[in-house]
Amino acid sequence: MIYSIVYKKKGLLSSLKSLVLTGNNKLGPDLVAKNLIYGLKLLKKKIYNNHIKNINIDTYIVLSDLKKLKNIIQLKKKNKKIKIVAGPNLLILPENEKSILFSNYVDLILVPSKWVKEKYLLKTSKKFKKKIFTWFSGIDHNLWKPKLKKKKIDFLIYKKFVYDKKIFNKCVNYLDKKNYNYRIIEYGNYNKKEFSKYLNQAKKLIFFSQSESQGLCLFETWSSDIPTFVYDQGYWIYNSKKFKSSSAPYLTTQTGLTFNSFEKFKKKLPIFLKKKFYPRKWIVENATIKKTTLNLLKIIN
């Protein structure tokens, strides 16, 4: 079996911007592509990167780039033996782009988590429901690992997008009142090196984000053996419509706890502090690059 991993490469300006902001020009969809390519190489699979017109390719895994997906669909019209796997970083909603994901020429649709799958299922017929599979990307657990034994920060507070900013301020003020030591980092305003350094200094992480389709930064946190206390508001707004969602779709009893109000934050914080978690163990057992690549191959084959 020969695979082509298809994804949208950033332009020079976009790559430089990511490099300045994060210390890495591979974020989100780019990181998913990079890790999958690495995983397939680990498993000694024959692969091409972003190749389309090659007579030997059996399966196209189109992670991102709608233009290339359209081109590959045209190829399949001439060669029905080609398999097309589309997702998980192509569309926000399945009805976008004239519902191209539900083309008869797309064999499998990948979504990054259960709540995203439920969102897709609302918009499709029984015929296409069998095509949708949940798959999450792995991370490099050898890169993201604990390094310091002595932790000098009680909490690293990760702030992404929050609809109700009052709850964020209330939680931070409460930590001040209780004399906890913390550091706040905001999405887009730190680089990879800084995030790694702060993770190694922190005992635990408090996470604020309106929703996460997978939550790669949470995976990196867990791989660093740091449990997370996640504000999970339970909904996501897009085009003025409210959808059921999750801010940590892969959080388990091994990796942390959630809260959805300031009152719950106060009530559950002592439990979070006392409870023993095993976040890195969960990553090693479930979310290494090799493990998640094997999971994808099982879905495809």
Q: Round to whole Å and give the CA distance between 141 and 288.
A: 6
The CATH architecture assigned to 153-286 reads 3-Layer(aba) Sandwich (3.40)
Instruction: Kindly give the residue spans of alpha helices, DSSP state H, lying in the chain.
Output: 12-22, 29-42, 66-78, 96-99, 114-121, 126-129, 165-177, 192-201, 216-223, 262-274, 279-286, 289-300
What's at 117, amino acid-wise? K
Q: Round to whole Å and give the CA distance between 270 and 256.
A: 13
**Per-residue pLDDT, 21:** 34
**Per-residue pLDDT, 10:** 62
What sign does the CA torsion over 51, 56, 60, 61 have? Answer: negative
**Per-residue pLDDT, 254:** 98
Q: What is the pTM of this model?
A: 0.90
User: What CATH number belongs to 2-135?
Assistant: 3.40.50
**Per-residue pLDDT, 256:** 98
| Ranges in the chain annotated CATH 3.40.50.2000 | 153-286
Task: State the 10-residue block means of pLDDT for the chain, 301 residues long.
Answer: 88 36 52 95 93 86 94 93 94 86 94 92 77 96 88 95 90 98 92 90 96 95 97 88 92 98 98 98 98 97 90
Listed in sequence order, the residues at least 6 apart from 253 whose beta carbon sits closer than 8 Å to its beta carbon are 277
**Per-residue pLDDT, 11:** 45
